[in-house]
Amino acid sequence: MSIKVAIVGATGYTGVELLRLLSGHPNVSVEVITSRAEAGRPVAELFPNLRGISPLLFSEPDEEQLASCDVVFFATPHGVAQATVPALLARGCRVIDLSADFRIRDVPLWEQWYNQPHAAPQLVAEAVYGLPEVNREAIQGAQLVACPGCYPTSVQLGLLPLLEAGCIDQSDVIANSASGATGAGKQASVATLLTEISDSFKAYAAGGHRHLPEIEQGLADIAGSAVKLTFVPHLLPINRGIHTTIYANLTDGSVDLQQLFEQRFADEPFVDVLPAGSHPETRSVRGANVARIAVHRPQGGNKVVVLVVEDNLTKGASGQAIQCMNIMLGFAECAGLEAPALLP
């Protein structure tokens, strides 16, 4: 069985990642990729790795065309999907949105952080947050999935066993994250030139990052009550990869952390708990839809340190979106997502 897929806004890095991964998916045919700016141009001209792989041309977004597909992915900046999604849902399409448009259930909170009115507030409540490790059942029945942000995926996966077990102090959790530069997108800018960010490292948005309310919502959903998070992202001089270092205080010192993590993720195809004492490397997930996690308890004290790596474009975006699609459509959850990471 094969379905028809469209990608809206496929000129960015999550767009090309969707095309790369879907080119090997046994049940999918990508029929439409849209871009106002590049309409008429072969996708392989913009992304030379797709020469000989994808014969598609970018086209102007067209509701009829999109509605003829079974699934429409939105790989657009925030604010774009809101305008088009209602019509597509009304016509029976399934929509998987990689942007931030439907992630936050508190619409005024969304409007505050994204500094614009929400164009489809009525849909926010029915959107399913696409983190399979938490929401697999809901995703199965969803018509609209809001894919988690890249940082939020890593933080939530790292805290999931601890919050479910109720063994940490929820009033003081820290996530110190570092991301490769593809997280900043593919727009002309001085700030992300190679000459400005290579051979360097810095924090950014220490005063508050847009992913914070999304993460806090997700953590509260998992914990059943509020979690107070301090989140500081940093910029790595590499293309792909997120590394999150989580710090929390144990309220129950008797818990076997290694066992807790291994058991929680034992049946998860895309979360890999490393042996005790390990330190995951971002390169070990380069291009692969997997998060690798290690848990430490420095010197046997009450501080738990969780290390999480993922590829921000794969498990942090396009791979996870395809995982959600597989779940929604009843395909094998791993379909199209089985290739190992590229190392070295």
Q: Are 300 and 247 in contact (CB under 8 A)?
A: no
- For residues 29 to 48, the per-residue mask of contacts with its own copies, x marking binding by CB under 8 A and - elsewhere, is ------------------xx
CB-nearer residue toward its own copies: 121 or 208? 208
Q: Which of 320, 318, 326 is nearest to 12 (CA)?
A: 318
Interface with its own copies in residues 262-281 (CB under 8 A) = 272, 274, 277, 279-281
- The two most distant CA atoms of the chain are separated, in Å, by 62
Least distance between its own copies and beta carbon 127 (Å): 26
Q: Which two tokens stand for residue 311?
A: 């590829």
CB-nearer residue toward its own copies: 109 or 138? 109
Interface with its own copies in residues 237-256 (CB under 8 A) = 237-241, 243, 245, 247, 249
> Of residues 204, 251, 263, 332, which one binds its own copies by CB under 8 A?
204
Q: Which of 313, 7, 4, 328 is nearest to 143 (CA)?
A: 328
Q: Is residue 69 annotated as a catalytic residue, yes or no?
A: no
CB-nearer residue toward its own copies: 122 or 195? 195
Cα distance between residue 75 and residue 251, in whole Å: 41
Least distance between its own copies and beta carbon 50 (Å): 6
- The DSSP line for 205-262 is -TT--THHHHHHHHHHHHHSS---EEEEEEE-SSSS-EEEEEEEEBS-TT--HHHHHH
Catalytic residue among 147, 150, 167, 324: 150
CA Rg value for the chain: 20
CB-nearer residue toward its own copies: 33 or 127? 33
Q: Which of 143, 182, 209, 177 is nearest to 14 (CA)?
A: 182
Interface with its own copies in residues 78-107 (CB under 8 A) = none
> Of residues 40, 190, 225, 266, which one binds its own copies by CB under 8 A?
190
Query: Which region, judged by CB under 8 A, interacts with its own copies, from 32-40, 60-68, 172-180, 320-328?
Result: 172-180
CB-nearer residue toward its own copies: 123 or 290? 290
Cα distance between residue 303 and residue 168, in whole Å: 9
Q: Are 22 and 16 in contact (CB under 8 A)?
A: no
Question: Is there binding between residue 236 and its own copies (CB under 8 A)?
Answer: yes
Least distance between its own copies and beta carbon 328 (Å): 24
Q: Which of 77, 68, 55, 70 is nearest to 8 (CA)?
A: 77
> Of residues 230, 251, 259, 263, which one binds its own copies by CB under 8 A?
230
Cα distance between residue 285 and residue 276, in whole Å: 19
> Of residues 55, 121, 253, 298, which one binds its own copies by CB under 8 A?
298
> Of residues 6, 7, 16, 80, which one binds its own copies by CB under 8 A?
16
CB-nearer residue toward its own copies: 280 or 316? 280
Q: Are 104 and 213 in contact (CB under 8 A)?
A: yes
Cα distance between residue 60 and residue 141, in whole Å: 30
Q: Are strands 202-203 and 303-310 parallel, antiparallel or unpaired?
A: unpaired
> Of residues 3, 57, 109, 305, which one binds its own copies by CB under 8 A?
305
Q: Which two tokens stand for residue 330?
A: 């009843």
Least distance between its own copies and beta carbon 228 (Å): 8
Positions annotated as catalytic residues are: 150
